[in-house]
Structure 1
Amino acid sequence: MSRIPLARLVLATKNPDKLVEVSELVQRYGLTEKVVEGLHWDDVEETASTLTGNALLKARTVSEATNEPALADDTGLEVDALGALPGVRTGRFAGEDATYEDNVRLLLSRLDRMIDRGASFITVVAIVHPDGWEETAQGVLSGTIATAPRGTGGFGYDPVFEVEGRTLSEMGDGEKNLLSHRALAIENLHEQLKE
Structure 2
Amino acid sequence: MTKPQIKRGDQLVLASHNQGKLAEFQALFAASGVDIKSAAAFDLPEPDEDADSFEGNARIKALAAAQATGLPALADDSGFCVTSLNGQPGIHSARWGGVRQDFAHAMQRVHDEMGEATDKRAAFVTVLCLAWPDGRAYFVEGRCDGQVAWPPKGENGHGYDPIFIPNGETRRFAEMTDAEKNAISHRGRALRQFMDIYVAPDA
TM-score, normalised with respect to structure 1: 0.92
Local SS of the residue matching 2:79: strand
Mapped partners of 1:98, 1:78: distance in 2: 17
Within a 5 Å distance, the mapping from 1:1-195 to structure 2 comes to 3-5=5-7, 7-28=10-31, 30=32, 33-36=34-37, 38-163=41-166, 164-193=169-198
Mapped partners of 2:176, 2:97: distance in 1: 26
Mapped partners of 1:88, 1:17: distance in 2: 18
Write out the 4+ residue segments of structure 1 that deviate beyond 6 Å after TM superposition: none
TM-score, normalised with respect to structure 2: 0.88
Question: How many corresponding residue pairs?
Answer: 193
Local SS of the residue matching 2:145: strand
| Distance of aligned partners of 1:102 and 1:188 in 2 relative to their CA distance in 1, 3 Å threshold | same
Deviations 1:8-64 (A, max 9, x none): 101110011111101211334x2x521235212111121111000000100000111
- The alignment yields a C-alpha RMSD, in angstroms, of 1.8
Local SS of the residue matching 2:161: coil
Deviations 1:121-177 (A, max 9, x none): 100011112244321100000000002101111110000010222100010111111
Q: Which has the higher helix share?
A: 2
Mapped partners of 2:138, 2:129: distance in 1: 6
Unaligned runs of 5+ in 2: none
| Distance of aligned partners of 1:36 and 1:85 in 2 relative to their CA distance in 1, 3 Å threshold | closer
Local SS of the residue matching 1:93: helix
Unaligned runs of 5+ in 1: none
